[in-house]
Amino acid sequence: MLFCTSCWERIGAELLRKKNPEVAVLDPPDAIEQLLNRQSMLNDVTDLNLSDSYGKVCVPRQMVINNDPSSIPHEVTRAGLKLPLVAKPLVVDGTAKSHEMFLAYDQFSLSELEPPLVLQEFVNHGGILFKVYIVGEAIKVVRRFSLPNVTKQELSKVEGVFRFPRVSSAAASADDADLDPSVAGLSISLTITLCGSLAELPPLPLLEKLARELRRRLGLRLFNVDMIREHGTKDVFYVIDINYFPGKAHRWVNKFLNPFAGYGKMPDYEHIFTDFLLSLMQSKYKNRPAQ
């Protein structure tokens, strides 16, 4: 059974698959590629245009800057993006640097950053992010700490680009989480209440439909979706990132010691993965041609 995320791993996996058709490849290397680029990873969510009685799933407006940081202010103005903006590296390669993110209160300060990068409109979401783990047909959601809302008053007074504070570890369930004081410190007057609509998990039928469509469109079995609920709404959600086989920065170490290390904070992950792998192997051998 193969786990492959780096370029050489994907090449090796493809060669091994062709020579050993009995080996189960969890996800096609070619399908993984689209999640390693933040310009393409959200395309399927946009094309899906998911909206039903349970809610609406959107993608924040964004643009790509490939070179010449001095041109960023002009490009942002021309694109009509609204401040504040989240700046993310374009390529996701598993390193800590590829997961560095910044919040820009004015477009001129963006010239300090190093392209290639993605600029994404920041959506106020009450400091709560939902990490939706998809393992085959199973779905698990945990609540994570995130950035607080940015008020109009704050936006008018603050300038500069600020690196995201470290996002705190996920709680075992949505009811167990407390807000990270380092996040709350970005906005002195901010008080976030964890009871109410912002803390309520997204409706399961909406998540099931989103997961089903993304599995089909992406051609992947293992990934997670970072989702937020727009502040002031009950049923408007934004997907801000999709990660393949979530893990820590030094993924080659984690995969050697524990190939499922990235899912360690997902509730009941041992049972979910056991069922997933058994189902995968049973399906493979069931469909194997008779000797």
DSSP, residue by residue, 207-252: HHHHHHHHHHHHT-SEEEEEEEEPTT-SSEEEEEEEEES---S-HH
Which residues line the annotated binding site? Answer: 38, 88, 99, 120-131, 146, 226, 241, 243, 247
Angle at 205 between CA 204 and CA 211, to 5 degrees: 85
Extract the annotated binding site for 1D-myo-inositol 1,3,4-trisphosphate: 99, 131, 243, 247
CA 240/CA 209 separation, integer angstroms: 17
The C-alpha atoms of residue 196 and residue 193 are separated, in whole angstroms, by: 7
User: Residues marked as binding for ATP?
Assistant: 38, 88, 120-131, 146
Enumerate the known binding-site residues for Mg(2+): 226, 241, 243
| Alpha-carbon distances of 5 from 36, 230, 248, 261, rounded to whole Å | 9, 32, 13, 14
Tokens of 72: 């960023």
Would you call 155 exposed, middle or buried from its count of C-beta atoms within 10 A (0-12, 13-18, 19+)?
A: middle
